[in-house]
Every structure is written in C-alpha cells, then in structure tokens.
Amino acid sequence: MAYGFVDCHCHISANEFEEDLDDVIQRTIEAGVKTLIAVTEEVRDFDRVLQLQDNYPDLVAPCFGIHPLQADGGPAHHSVKLQDLDPALPLFHKHRERLVAVGEIGLDFTPWCAPTEQDRDSQMTVFIKQLNIAKQLDLPVNVHSRSAAKVTIATMIEQGISKALLHNFAGKPSVALEGVKAGYLFSFPPAVGRNHQRDKVIKQIPLEHICLETDSPDLGPEKHVRNEPSNITKSCRYIAEVKGLSAETVQLATTQNAYRLFPKADGRNVRMQRR
C-alpha cells in the first residue's frame, strides 16, 4: 500500500510506551504509518508530546487537550474541573505553531464517571472553553464523546465548530449523520473488529467522513493487550470489510480525509514550512 496511514488519535506519550518506544516506533513505520496525531489528556502530558515531536519530527504531530475525565492518581477518575484546565491555558497559545489540533477534549457522561449534574456541567464548561481556544487558534478538535454523542455534536454545532474528529464513535447512526451534515469526521480503532456492534454506524457514515485511529495503548484488537499504532492496518481492513471496499480504497480515502482535517500534520506541508 503506497499511500501510508494516518493514526488520527493515539496516546504515544503514554507511560505504557516508555520502556520500548523506539521498537514501537519502528513497528509503526514498518506498518506504513506516516503520521501519528498524538493527543493529550492532562496538562502534564503536554511537554512529553512536544518532546516526542522533537525526537520523531516526521512522524509525531502534537495536540494539546484536557480530557473530560482526569486521573485521581490511581484507577479512579473524576470529571474535569476548571482548575484542571487553568494551567493549560497559556500553553495552547505559547505552542500554537506546533499544534495540529486541540484534543483530546469532549464529554463523558458514563454514569459511574459523571454521576451528578454538577459533574456534567463542569465537563461542559471545560469543553466549551477548549472549543473556543480551537476557534481562536484556527485548529480542528479531536473529540471524545462517550455516552454523550448527541449532546457533544449539538454543542459543537452550537459553538460554530466546523473542523472536528469524533474518535471511537459509538453513537447512533442518526446522530452520526447530524455530524456528517456539519462536516465532521469519525474514526474507529482496532477494537471495533472484536464484535459487530459498530457495523451499522460504519456502513452509514460516508467514506469521505471516516478516518483511522488506534487510541493506543487502549482499544486494540485483543482485550487487555497493549495496543500500538502498527495495528492501524486492522482498523483499515475491518472498515473495508464492513463497507464492502478494498483495503487500499479505505487507506487512501482515510489518509486524504485526515490531512484535509489536520493540514498541519501533512508531512508535505511541514517540509514546505521548514524551507
């Protein structure tokens, strides 16, 4: 496959990759991946993702974002609060030239993660603030929408967002089509191949609105096994199978879609800027 893949949503700065990152990157390149859109979840991830771009300048394309769920120092998470966002605010502007998107941002209304209305309101406040930052910086958004697909898309439309990726989308096809009408794109990780639950939504979203992702180190082809960007080929094959297309067709279309949404991540543009 000559065109290369774009992993539109991965956490290559995650601790899970610290010990063997060079090997992971080598496998990523061997699989034909040209670009990793590297999202963050907390402000402490920001420096790491910039460092990775310094180390792998032709591969890593950094995003800054504060996730709707924040770690409590263990397995537990709390809904994001304004104080989680505050330290990040100057950094978006300081590093604006290096960023290809604002993400990972969004809403997570899973009952055990956001049990109260106050939790959901707090997430919404932080989400809207980051949508406004993306508009100020003229950047696309890389969006999480678990148990909140309808309200996430409605909020982005209300806020005048025109460039968005809804990652690991699990909403209804009718909700996805509202996003398609707004011009949004949708990506699916290798985990969709574990069962057929997403087939209906993948079938209904036009190919020109689909991208590939791994969400590594999570959502891989096998449960409880670390995922990595080289598994993007499995996402491609599964989407091709569901849509009745060749893997080459899906690869070419999704790569073109990705660079249309994230033009600053396109290596050709980056090389021209360096001249």
DSSP class per residue in 130-169: HHHHHHHHT--EEEEEET-HHHHHHHHHHTT---EEEET-
Tally of CB atoms within 10 A around 159: 14
pLDDT score, position 127:
98
Angle at the Cα of 275 (from 93 to 267), degrees rounded to 5? Answer: 70
33, 6, 61: which is closest to 258 by C-alpha? Answer: 6
Give the end-to-end CA distance of the chain in Å, rounded to a whole number: 29
The arrangement of strands across the sheet holding 101-108 comes to 5-10, 33-38, 60-64, 101-108, 141-146, 164-167, 185-188, 210-212
Domain carrying residue 187? 5-274
Tokens representing 198 are: 């997403």
- Residue 240 confidence (pLDDT): 98
What is the reported pLDDT for 77?
A: 86
Q: How far apart are CA 104 and CA 42, in angstroms?
A: 9
* The predicted structure's pLDDT at residue 74: 67
- Cα separations (Å) of 19 from 10, 23, 41, 215? 17, 9, 20, 19
Query: Cβ contacts of residue 204 below 8 Å, gap of 6+?
Result: 173, 176, 177
CA distance 188 to 206: 13
- The per-residue pLDDT for 274 is 40
pLDDT of residue 273: 42
pLDDT of residue 76: 77
Domain count, the chain: 1
pLDDT at 275: 34
In the chain, count H helices and then E strands.
Answer: 11, 10
Per-residue pLDDT of the chain (275 residues; tens, 9 = 90+): 447 999 999 999 999 999 999 999 999 999 999 999 999 999 999 999 999 999 999 999 999 999 999 987 667 789 999 999 999 999 999 999 999 999 999 999 999 889 999 999 999 999 999 999 999 999 999 999 999 999 999 999 999 999 999 999 999 999 999 999 999 999 999 999 999 999 999 999 999 999 999 999 999 899 999 999 999 999 999 999 999 999 999 999 999 999 999 999 997 554 434 43
What pLDDT sits at residue 251?
97
Report pLDDT for 72. Answer: 76
What does the alpha-carbon distance between residue 186 and residue 149 come to, in Å, rounded to a whole number? 12
CA dihedral 44, 62, 103, 81 (to 10 degrees): 20
Which CATH number fits the domain that encloses residue 178? 3.20.20.140
Could you write out the three-class secondary structure of 169-238? Answer: CCCCHHHHHHHHHCCCEEEECHHHHHCCCCHHHHHHCCHHHEEECCCCCCCCCCCCCCCCHHHHHHHHHH
